[in-house]
């Protein structure tokens, strides 16, 4: 069975005010002192963020246990320096991002100007093992139309700088400002993929291969396909759903490749529209159906996703988990809907952050 790993970026916030706190270095130092050698947490571009990565897991129960544990450990280390963590893809409250001090981050700040200073967003990346680069690129080519549905499921960023954006995933719109971000055209082979990446680096617009921010890419560090479209999810269970569905997509795509099934030839222009629609609507209203690229109710599109990966989910034992989790999201709402409901109830973005802190560690 293919293994799955999850990376989550969490927001460091003041436990009293909800304001983001630029204390990632102190949180990492606390983690190193308390849990030397574990290497669970990493520094990110901004000092208001703390990232962790799970180990590769074959079972979703084990993955869920590790995500919950890592979230609680992140909260413990944050509390040790006077703050806490929230699984929020953007800060609901106004914030001035603090860029980390190292050569790479300073190069980005100089190269990309204001776009760098406005990129305080938190995502969830899912890694699924592949047997080779050839299989990985075949997967990347074949999962492209389904990625916006993952964005809709995970959407958890309705607020930006103290205002409702009217988007469900405004994080994805901010992220799309990076010059290498977004959907890709068909590559066809691992050699073509590598040539494209090399050509992009050769332009000088990006610093290196790690800055190729495709929606789905071959990982530079692991033998995996890395899917990067999701907001960090408010609830650990939603992150587990993403992991299960992404593994199902990877397995289904690999089987299609081995069977000689050609990938859908949707243009990047249409894929960008599908991504925008998912970011705007989330699970409210319509999405673009991955097969037709025409509007369809979100519930119908989510059902199509589950049908597309049903065989792979059944074989991995994840079908019932995926069905029940999707039904729960459609019924009760993703993070964006929950945040808006909290805002309607309290009228205070500070209260929204405080409640989301509790959801993060539940």
Q: What is the pLDDT of residue 39?
A: 67
pLDDT band (50, 70, 90) for residue 218: very high
The domain limits of the chain are 4-360
Q: State mean pLDDT over 207-215.
A: 96
- Across all residues in the chain, what is the average pLDDT? 96
User: Distance from first CA to last CA of the chain, Å, rounded?
Assistant: 29
| Span 228-278, pLDDT tens digits | 999 999 999 999 999 999 999 999 999 999 999 999 999 999 999 999 999
Q: State mean pLDDT over 139-151.
A: 98
Does residue 217 surpass a pLDDT of 60?
yes
In sequence order, the 6+-apart residues with CB closer than 8 A to the CB of 168 are 152, 155, 157, 158, 278, 279, 280, 281, 282, 283, 284, 334, 336, 337
pTM passes above 0.85: yes
Does residue 338 surpass a pLDDT of 70?
yes
Candidates 116, 105, 237, 240; CA nearest to 179 is 116
Helix, strand, coil fractions of the chain, as percent rounded to 5: 50, 15, 35
Q: State mean pLDDT over 147-169.
A: 98
Q: State mean pLDDT over 41-66.
A: 93
Name which CATH class applies to 4-360: alpha beta
Q: What is the pLDDT of residue 297?
A: 98
Candidates 189, 205, 168; CA nearest to 286 is 168
Cα separation, 220 vs 185, in Å, equals 20
| Span 114-137, pLDDT tens digits | 999 889 999 999 999 999 999 999
pLDDT band (50, 70, 90) for residue 5: very high
Does residue 58 surpass a pLDDT of 80?
yes
| Span 163-201, pLDDT tens digits | 999 999 999 999 999 999 999 999 999 999 999 999 999
Does residue 36 surpass a pLDDT of 70?
no
> How far, in whole angstroms, is CA 133 from its chain's centroid?
22
């Amino acid at each position: 069975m293919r293994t799955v790993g999850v990376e989550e970026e969490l927001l460091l916030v003041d436990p009293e005010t909800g304001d983001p706190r630029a204390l990632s270095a102190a949180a990492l130092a606390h983690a190193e002192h308390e849990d030397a050698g574990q290497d669970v947490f990493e520094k990110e571009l901004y000092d208001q963020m703390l990232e962790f990565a799970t180990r590769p897991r074959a079972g979703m129960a084990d993955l869920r246990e590790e995500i919950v544990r890592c979230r609680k450990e992140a909260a413990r280390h944050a509390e040790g320096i006077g703050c806490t963590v929230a699984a929020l893809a953007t800060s609901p409250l106004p914030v001035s991002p603090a860029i980390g001090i190292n050569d790479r981050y300073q190069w980005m700040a100089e190269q990309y100007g204001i776009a760098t200073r406005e990129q305080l967003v938190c995502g969830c990346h899912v890694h699924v093992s592949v047997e080779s680069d050839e299989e990985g690129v075949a997967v990347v080519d074949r999962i492209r139309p389904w990625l916006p549905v993952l964005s809709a499921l995970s959407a958890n960023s309705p607020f930006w700088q103290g205002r409702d954006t009217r988007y469900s995933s405004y994080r994805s719109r901010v992220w799309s400002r990076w010059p290498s971000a977004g959907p890709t055209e068909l590559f066809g082979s691992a050699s073509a993929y590598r040539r494209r990446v090399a050509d992009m680096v050769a332009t000088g617009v990006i610093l290196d291969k790690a800055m190729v921010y495709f929606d789905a890419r071959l990982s530079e560090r692991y033998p995996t396909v890395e899917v990067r479209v999701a907001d960090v999810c408010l609830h650990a269970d939603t992150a587990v759903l993403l992991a299960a569905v992404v593994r199902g997509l990877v397995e289904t795509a690999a089987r299609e490749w081995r069977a000689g099934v050609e990938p859908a030839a949707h243009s990047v222009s249409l894929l960008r529209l599908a991504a925008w629609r998912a970011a705007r609507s989330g699970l409210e209203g319509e999405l673009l159906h991955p097969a037709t690229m025409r509007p369809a109710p979100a519930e119908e599109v989510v059902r199509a996703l589950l049908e597309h990966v049903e065989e792979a989910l059944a074989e991995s034992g994840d079908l019932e988990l995926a069905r029940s989790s999707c039904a729960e999201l459609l019924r009760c709402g993703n993070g964006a809907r929950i945040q808006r409901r909290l805002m309607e109830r309290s009228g205070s973005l500070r209260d929204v952050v405080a409640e989301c802190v509790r959801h993060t560690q539940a």
